Structure 1
Amino acid sequence: MLTVTEAAAEAITALTAQEGSEDSSGLRFAMHSQQGDSPQLAVSVAPQPESGDRVLGADGGPKVFLEPEAAALLDDKVLDVQQDETGEVAFAVLPQAQSGS
């Protein structure tokens, strides 16, 4: 299942508050297109999950809505935020750390 870092959770909270959205809103990931081996995801602030979406997050906290194909793609990933050289913050999907000895 997709893991959301604390920094990403804070960014989702800030984004949904900025949109003036209700408590039920969240960040929604959906498949945008498939170009060769690199699928493209569409990310948007949504007022509520769509039918069939997987919902991550607790009541009162930041929520992530995953369209079924996006959920399958992101199942073993981590959602984080990264800052570029200009100070812009963007969401980043990273591989989960492998637990081993």
Structure 2
Amino acid sequence: MLTLTDTASTVVKTIVSQIPNSDTAGVRIQGGDETEFVLGVVPTPEPDDAVVETAGARVFLDATAAQVLDDKILDALIDEEGGVVRFAIEQQAA
């Protein structure tokens, strides 16, 4: 199952906390292939989504993303100057 780094958890919680009713909200990842995903903040997961929760950060994965990201780590990179966040996918250690 996808895991989140501490930085990714913090970023996800910060992003999600800015919307109303953030108790059930999370970042949803929809997959296509190994390199392209669509991320968005949603109020609740879709019925068939896999839910990953780490330190209060909730990430919802559609079926394709759940399969592709099963053995991956989600990290977040923050540009200190502009405050831009980029998410990165890394391989889990065997």
Shift in Å, 1:83: 2.8
Q: Distance in 1 between matches of 2:67 and 2:87?
A: 18
Give the aligned length.
93
Runs of at least 5 residues in structure 1 that lack an aligned partner in the other structure? none
Q: Distance in 1 between matches of 2:87 and 2:35?
A: 16
- Partner amino acid, structure 2, of 1:81: A
Match of residue 44 from structure 2: 48
Match of residue 77 from structure 1: 72
Taking structure 2 as the reference length, the TM-score comes to 0.85
Identify if the C-alpha distance between structure 1 residues 21 and 15 changes in structure 2 by more than 3 Å, giving closer, same or farther.
farther
Alpha-carbon deviations, 1:45-99, whole Å to 9, x = none? 01000010001116x811010001100000011001113474422111111123x
Q: Distance in 2 between matches of 1:21 and 1:67?
A: 21
Match of residue 29 from structure 1: 29
Identical counterparts, % of pairs = 38
Q: Distance in 2 between matches of 1:85 and 1:12?
A: 17
Structure 1 residue ranges (4+ consecutive) displaced by more than 3 angstroms after TM superposition: 84-87
Taking structure 1 as the reference length, the TM-score comes to 0.80
Runs of at least 5 residues in structure 2 that lack an aligned partner in the other structure? none
Larger Rg: 1
Match of residue 13 from structure 2: 13
Match of residue 94 from structure 1: 90
